[in-house]
Amino acid sequence: MKTILGIETSCDETAAGVVIDGRLVGGNVISSQVDVHALYGGVVPEVASRLHIERIVPVLELALSQAGMRWSDIDAVAVTNGPGLAGALIVGVNTAKGIAASLGKPLVGVNHLAGHIYAGWLAEGIPDPAEDPGFPLLALLVSGGHTDLALMEGHGRFRLVGRTRDDAAGEAFDKGARILGLGYPGGPAIERASAGAPHTEAMPRAWLPNTHDFSFSGVKTALLRRAQEAGIYPTPGRIRDGNPVGALARAYQDAIVEVLVKKAVAAANEYGVRGILLGGGVAANRQLREELVQASDVPVIIPPPVLCTDNGAMIAACGSYLLELGRSSGWELDIYPNLRLDYAIG
């Protein structure tokens, strides 16, 4: 059995996880910076980097403590080396290099996006997705910075078949929440405002025929114009026509979720996959989870919400399988802020 320590610092979560044999989570600690960045309405890269430096050691120590392990029990160190914020990535990569060097253990660079997909291997109570339902799998990755559809043909093997042409789904939720005066982060705020809201508004969908690509800039613009008409934007406190915030939030969420679900199902059918993997922070959205399961003709693998947001366990899981493939990194491991999903390691 291999015990992998995973380190994740690509954005505003300082996270570390311990995973055994790519499937069993021994410890998983996430130190979120969301309360700090909420003051600015979004992530401030310099602030994120400084907070990672302050928090990384306590987070690592707590993850090992949760797992009931010592440093000597670690067989390899996996770390996110892209994509993400350059300064934030540097903190994690340099920390991982130091740990691996001091322990004399292998170092594995992990694509953050692939990590989100491998969170599906950590879902409790399901078989190994590589065996049941088996490859090929379709990965729908929805986060603040990315919205991708990828064909997963084997461990560490991804082929992009669709991606957003403008805003990512999570970015669209953040901007929509800002327009409606709901705060940051936008995804949970939109979901809360939508709960129980009347279905009295409608938003457009960008279908981009004959492609598996996404576009969310149009629905964002439609929301902005409707909010301006209702007096919500730019001054949320001045609402002329009752309080349409909930209805607008619901219509906005409906539009984004419907496009994600229908595009994913269409791609799954076209490529004849055996299952769909849902990953990324937006995968915690209940409506998306439920509608994708209902619409799909193949099994849908969804991690629990705590493993949808950035975490170290998913990086450790991905690193475990990359290590089995012999894809460990040398000490020259560098960061790649714009790394694509088709490259499993930098």
| pLDDT tens readout for residues 302-335 | 999 999 999 999 999 999 999 999 988 888 899 9
Q: What is the CATH number of the domain that holds 109?
A: 3.30.420.40
User: Is 240 a residue whose pLDDT tops 70?
Assistant: no
Model pLDDT for residues 174-203, shown as the tens digit of each residue: 999 999 999 999 999 999 999 999 999 999
DSSP state at residue 166? S
User: In the chain, what percentage of residues exceed pLDDT 90?
Assistant: 89
Predicted confidence band at 239 (pLDDT cuts at 50, 70, 90)?
Answer: low
Model pLDDT for residues 28-63, shown as the tens digit of each residue: 999 999 999 999 888 999 999 999 999 999 999 999
338 within some domain: no
Domain that holds residue 230: 133-302
Q: Give pLDDT, residue 345.
A: 44
Is the same domain home to 193 and 161?
Answer: yes
User: Is 74 a residue whose pLDDT tops 90?
Assistant: yes
Is the same domain home to 155 and 26?
Answer: no
Predicted confidence band at 242 (pLDDT cuts at 50, 70, 90)?
Answer: low
Is the same domain home to 187 and 244?
Answer: yes
Predicted confidence band at 243 (pLDDT cuts at 50, 70, 90)?
Answer: confident
Q: Give pLDDT, residue 341.
A: 85
Model pLDDT for residues 62-73, shown as the tens digit of each residue: 999 999 999 999
User: In the chain, what percentage of residues exceed pLDDT 70?
Assistant: 97
Specify the 3-state DSSP secondary structure of 31. Answer: strand
124 within some domain: no
Residue 252 tokens, joined: 């906005």
Is the same domain home to 157 and 232?
Answer: yes
Average pLDDT over residues 71-96: 98
125 within some domain: no
Is the same domain home to 313 and 195?
Answer: no
Is the same domain home to 139 and 239?
Answer: yes
Cα three-residue angle 321-326-327, rounded to 5 degrees: 75
Q: Give CA–CA dist 179/225, Å, rounded.
A: 10
Is the same domain home to 287 and 317?
Answer: no
Is the same domain home to 155 and 34?
Answer: no
C-alpha 331, offset from chain centre? 27
Is the same domain home to 34 and 140?
Answer: no
Q: Give CA–CA dist 87/189, Å, rounded.
A: 28
Query: Which among 80, 85, 87 has a CA at the least distance from the CA of 6?
Result: 80
Q: Give pLDDT, residue 346.
A: 39
Whole-angstrom CA distances from 171 to 1, 45, 175, 272 are: 39, 16, 6, 30
331 within some domain: no
C-alpha 88, offset from chain centre? 16
Q: Give CA–CA dist 42/149, Å, rounded.
A: 25
Q: Give pLDDT, residue 6.
A: 98
344 within some domain: no
Alpha-helical segments (H) within 142-244: 169-179, 186-194, 217-229
Q: Give pLDDT, residue 19.
A: 98
C-alpha 25, offset from chain centre? 18
Q: Give pLDDT, residue 237.
A: 62
Is the same domain home to 107 and 141?
Answer: no
Q: How many domains does the chain have?
A: 2
Q: Give CA–CA dist 236/283, Å, rounded.
A: 28
Please give the mean pLDDT across all residues of the chain: 94
Is the same domain home to 61 and 179?
Answer: no
Is the same domain home to 70 and 167?
Answer: no
Query: Which among 178, 157, 233 has a CA at the least distance from the CA of 38?
Result: 178
Q: Give pLDDT, residue 342.
A: 76
